[in-house]
Structure 1
């Protein structure tokens, strides 16, 4: 004798749902879920309240997702990233991130806000001063990483952005570049009696050329050091 599992499921359901309109019940659940999702999306795109603290149950948090603002700042400076409010993010927030927010809110019985995103400048709608990692604040300078999406950063980005971290790194980088350029000149370029002197003057010359180019293009394009822009919402500050 065989058992029809579908019929058994129907009997089991009917025991607990006598007189209940199943379709209406499903519609209500879906409507509530849709409203919840809409509320989360609104909180992400209209995040102007500057909420600095979300009430979460620390026992339910994953420790490898908790980061202090100083750690976030150091990574932003190293890789020339920005850490800004989610409403400034130009691209769509992925559905998986929305789902994780819903799970967190349900698990912690709370409504999250104050979302921030760490990403390269080009992914944000930056304002003019003259006129992907999703975080939520949990208080005392700590942030909880909710979701990471998109492609990983190039392994070379750290070194390509090294000169722009601060004034010291740009001077060091300029000196190293000037020395490397001077070393690239052939031996026949130098006079045997003045080789050291010529090398020093050549390094100094290239140091001035590179330094001038960096200052000229940096100022003309409104660029600033990583340490100054990591949490700035302006293009040229």
Structure 2
């Protein structure tokens, strides 16, 4: 007697038929998907809303300590890398599906609905479609924020140094002095043959410094630029 091989898919279908789920399975799946879509719609509304909540009812035993950051730490990084830390309502890009999944998981685990979301990202992502390394936070309270999700591309490895001159007034003046000195040295051809002429070098240096400052001021006014310390949490300044 030759035994017939078992078709597990056929067994699965028969079991489902016996359990009385054959006609209701699509309805169940549809209801589950509708519920998930409803949750994501509520989260999207919250992300795009003007809710200025400064805390959420987290269960602290369930939080990952490495994802908790104080506002002073966030401010320092924003200033060093010329980033913004703004309400998510100012974020012009689409939020990734992973962010929604993590928010839903947090809300389920902590039995709460999250409010007051913040985004840390370069200024341009609040105006243009550009996915450069946004970080999504939710407030815990007392100046602490919980990092929910990071997506997009990493920042340029030299970004911190490229934008360092615009960190504050002191760094801008220091940069102008260095650029002026180097430019003066390059253009003062007599340094190579006649030696350093102190008065001549000083006059040329002051002229170069004045020119560099003039270019910086013109660029700053024409582009509406401001220092990192002034824009890190501003939705208006560039």
TM-score (norm 2): 0.86
Return 226-235 or 199-208, whichever deviates more: 199-208
Distance change (3 Å), C-alpha of 1:106 and 1:20: farther
User: Over aligned residue pairs, what C-alpha RMSD do you find?
Assistant: 2.5
Identify unmatched segments of 5+ residues in structure 2: 129-133
Contact 1:86 1:115 in 2 (8 A): yes
CA distance in 2, matches of 1:62, 1:52: 19
Contact 1:166 1:226 in 2 (8 A): yes
CA distance in 1, matches of 2:41, 2:196: 74
Out of 74, 77, 81, the position equivalent to 2:76 is 74
Q: Secondary structure at the match of 2:85?
A: strand
Out of 10, 15, 23, the position equivalent to 2:26 is 23
Other-structure match for 2:53: 51
Contact 2:79 2:229 in 1 (8 A): yes
Deviation of 1:58 after TM superposition, in Å, equals: 1.7
Out of 136, 139, 142, the position equivalent to 1:137 is 139
Contact 1:133 1:148 in 2 (8 A): yes
Contact 1:190 1:198 in 2 (8 A): no
Deviation of 1:142 after TM superposition, in Å, equals: 0.9
Deviation of 1:189 after TM superposition, in Å, equals: 5.5
Out of 31, 36, 42, the position equivalent to 1:33 is 36
CA distance in 1, matches of 2:124, 2:78: 14
Q: Secondary structure at the match of 1:199?
A: helix
CA distance in 2, matches of 1:123, 1:163: 22
TM-score (norm 1): 0.86
More contact order relative to length (CA 8 Å, sep ≥ 6) = 1
Over residues 74-107 of structure 1, what are the superposed CA-to-partner deviations in whole Å (9 max), with x where a residue is unaligned? 1111111111111111111111111111111112
Q: Secondary structure at the match of 1:83?
A: strand
Over residues 17-51 of structure 1, what are the superposed CA-to-partner deviations in whole Å (9 max), with x where a residue is unaligned? 679833222222111111001111111122x0201
CA distance in 2, matches of 1:3, 1:106: 41
Query: What is the correspondence of 1:166-177 to structure 2 with a 5 Å cutoff?
Result: 166-177=168-179
Other-structure match for 1:183: 185
Identify unmatched segments of 5+ residues in structure 1: 127-131
Other-structure match for 1:129: none
Count residues in correspondence.
230
CA distance in 2, matches of 1:51, 1:14: 50
Distance change (3 Å), C-alpha of 1:35 and 1:72: same
Contact 1:116 1:134 in 2 (8 A): yes
CA distance in 1, matches of 2:206, 2:20: 86
CA distance in 2, matches of 1:118, 1:172: 28
